[in-house]
Structure formats: structure tokens, C-alpha cells
Amino acid sequence: MKRYLVGGAIRDELLGLPVRERDWVLTGVTPEQLDAAGYLPVGKDFPVFLHPQTKEEHALARTERKTAPGYKGFSFHTGPEVTLEDDLVRRDLTINAIARGDDGVLVDPYGGQRDLDARVLRHVSEAFCEDPVRILRLARFHARFASLGFSVADETLALMRKMVADGEVDHLVPERVWQETKKALMTDAPGRYFRTLQDCGALARIMPELSALEGVPQRADYHPEVDTLVHVLMCVDTSAALQLPLETRYAVLVHDLGKGATPQEEWPSHRMHDMRGVPLVEKFSERLRVPAACRDLALVHTKEHLIIHQALELRPSTLLGLVERIGGFAKGERFEQVLQASICDARGRLGFEDSAYEQADYLRAARVAANEIQAAQVMADGISGAAIGEALKERRTRRLKEWKEQRKAQS
């Protein structure tokens, strides 16, 4: 039996990055021999074992054969005769097809070290086109390694486009699309993930609402970048730069879907794109089976982001309603998450990347002022039942009017 450390552990080590997990490949051994040696079998689709001491995953070297469309249509073969090179050739990218034996010698039959040095994402073999998940994984690696200057090899991009044309991407299940998208959103350059999918045609098949934003113009005085998809991806990258949580990054990603539904005769204006966007965000989230926390925040921000930008001009009653709708009087983090998403929207524009966003602090201060009036104070005055809510609203509106007048006098 021979043992090799493979894949991401070797890649990240050679790139000088922290190694998150270690996977091993074994050759010259049978499942029965591993079982006798105390390894614990855990693989469902092919033989994977946990080491009796380290509990790290050890897989038998294997070959595979395409048997049906999609990413589950494979049959696998393992045996003592399967070589390490046989196993590595089935991997997705050359940078993930490097191994190191227990003797410390690197095994790199497909040029992975060369592509690491050249900062190129390149498929190992034509077997890449048999698994559509590899398109998502490559796009995610492109986002993850964006700061290192990686690009996609021309021949690999051409192969990805062929896979899309052949309908392979149509077999991706929502759970797997979201799993890869979630990971990509949490990288430092998530916009690169969606741009790569758009460049190969996959985005139009799995996220058509987002793909439809490319080429949709916006008013250049508000959006010097003009193109709506460019704006959205700038916003998402801003959310990463601010190190915001997944829910907020997702809300930023989908907040302008309504611009894709604007009639062309109205371009470059996008009146009512907030309301047009709400059902699109619902459909998008349902199709990808996005977690409820992501979906709910996205719906609130999509519906309210235009009026948030106008916060400084709102009348007290309108301002109070906005603060309430975005979670200003409820427990939890939604209020601040919506404001952070709006900051990303404001800064995700060419030339505005570092701009201030006065509306956020304004709404925070308005929330504090309105919260000075509590229901207990209303009830202490003898008001009860349904009248409590109306009285609370009236008093908070009056307090916000005073607060606005005080701010004006101080300015």
C-alpha cells in the first residue's frame, strides 16, 4: 500500500495559504485490507475510509465512467491495479491534481505546479466536461484566488461553454448550486464567481434573473458604470470588503433584479424596480432553495432600498414607517443588516467606492429618537387595547418631528 496527500492541501501549501483539510489517496490496497487494519468505512458512492488514529479521510484510488447526464451519472472502479495517475486524471483542475507521497516527493503528472506559478485555472482532461458541478467549482476558485491574479485558461473556458451548450448545466440540482454559490459569496471577490459563470453562459441557465441584468443601462449621472450587472457585482464585492455576513451579501446580490424587468422604452430610468424586484427575488430564492434568513432579508432590502436612499427627505410619519418596516423596533440584527446592504448599494458604483452614506447614521439616530417613546408610557396614561398602537405611532411621529427640527437648527 502507498499513501499520498492530494488535492487542496497540496495546492494551498504551494500557494503559501493555510491548509484547511487533508485528503489522502491509497493505492495497492483493497477495502478488505483496510477494514482489517482498523480503517472505518464512510463512503456512500465509493470507498472512503477514516484513518483509525487521525480520522482523516483516505480514499481508494479510482477510475470513473460517465453513465448518465448530470453530476451523479457516474460509475466508479477501485482496485489494487488503479494507479495514482489514473486517479489524478479524473480531477477537475491541474492545480488540484498534485500529490505527495509519504516520502515527501511531489507527483505532478498534469502540470499543476506550472499552472500554479502561471496563476491559471486549467482542466486536467476532457473528463472535466462530464460533471457540471466543475463549472461552479472553477468559478468559485476564480473568486477565491482573485487576489492572487488567477485567470481561466482559454481552452477551459471554451470547454465550459460547450458544456452549457450541451445542456449539462441544466442537470444541476438547486441544493448544489446554492452550496457552491454560498461558498463563493463568502470569498473576498464574490463578483468574480458570477462574472465567470456569465462568461461561459452558465449564469443564464441557473440564475437567469441575474444574467438578464447585463447590458441593462442605468442613468450615468447616478451610475457611471452604466451596466446594471456591473453595478450589482461591484455591490457584492463591496459587501465582501466590509466582511458582511452571508445574509447581507445575498440581499445585496439580488436587490436590483427588478431592473431586468424594466420595459426598454423606460431605459435608462428604472422607476418601480423595487416593486418589480420583489416577486423576482421570491422566485429566485425559492428556485435555489435559499435559507429563509437570506430570503427574508433580501425581500426587505429589495422593497425598501429606494426609500432608504431618500431617508433625509422623508416626512416624520413616513420616516417612522420606514424605520419600523426595516426592523427598527424589533429584536435581532435586521435593521443594521438592511443599512449595511444599502451602504453596499451606494458604494457599488464607479467612482463612489469610498463614499460616505449619511442615510445610515441618519436612520440609526431616528431609530434612537423614536425608541424614546415606549408602549409602557402610553399605557401609563390610561390608554388600552387597540388605541395603544395608534397613540404610540402618533407620539413617535411627533418625537421624530421634534428631532428633525433640532437637527435642522443645529446644522
Helix (H, G, I), strand (E, B) or coil at 217: strand
> With a threshold of 0.75, does the pTM exceed it?
yes
Report how far residue 13's alpha carbon sits from residue 10's, in angstroms, rounded to the nearest whole number: 5
Helix (H, G, I), strand (E, B) or coil at 408: helix
What are the Cα distances from residue 223, in Å, to 191, 198, 255, 276? 18, 21, 15, 20
C-alpha cell at 51: 484513518
Per-residue pLDDT of the chain (411 residues; tens, 9 = 90+): 899 999 899 999 999 999 988 989 999 888 888 888 888 888 766 678 888 888 888 888 888 766 566 555 556 677 788 899 999 999 999 999 999 999 999 999 999 999 999 999 999 999 999 899 999 999 999 999 999 999 999 999 999 999 999 999 999 999 999 999 999 999 999 999 999 999 999 999 999 999 999 999 999 999 999 999 999 999 999 999 999 999 999 999 999 999 999 999 999 999 999 999 999 999 999 999 999 999 999 999 999 999 999 999 999 999 999 999 999 999 889 999 999 999 999 999 999 999 999 999 999 999 999 999 998 988 998 898 989 999 999 999 999 999 999 999 998
The long-range contacts involving 154-159, CB below 8 angstroms and separated by at least 24 positions, are 155/122, 155/123, 156/121, 156/122, 156/123, 156/128, 157/199, 157/200, 159/123, 159/126, 159/128, 159/129
Residue with cell 484566488: 145
Rg (C-alpha) for the chain, rounded Å, is 27
Would strands 23-27 and 57-60 be described as parallel, antiparallel, or unpaired? parallel
Residue with cell 418601480: 272
Region label for 284, one of left (φ > 0), alpha (ψ between -120 and 50) or beta (otherwise): alpha
Q: In what order do the strands lie in the sheet containing 2-6?
A: 40-41, 48-50, 57-60, 23-27, 2-6, 99-101, 106-107
User: What is the pLDDT at residue 74?
Assistant: 54
> What's the burial of 69, exposed, middle or buried (CB within 10 Å: 0-12/13-18/19+)?
middle
In the chain, count H helices and then E strands. 19, 11
Domains identified in the chain and CATH numbers: 1-112 (3.30.460.10), 119-206 (1.10.110.30), 213-310+318-357 (no CATH), 372-410 (no CATH)
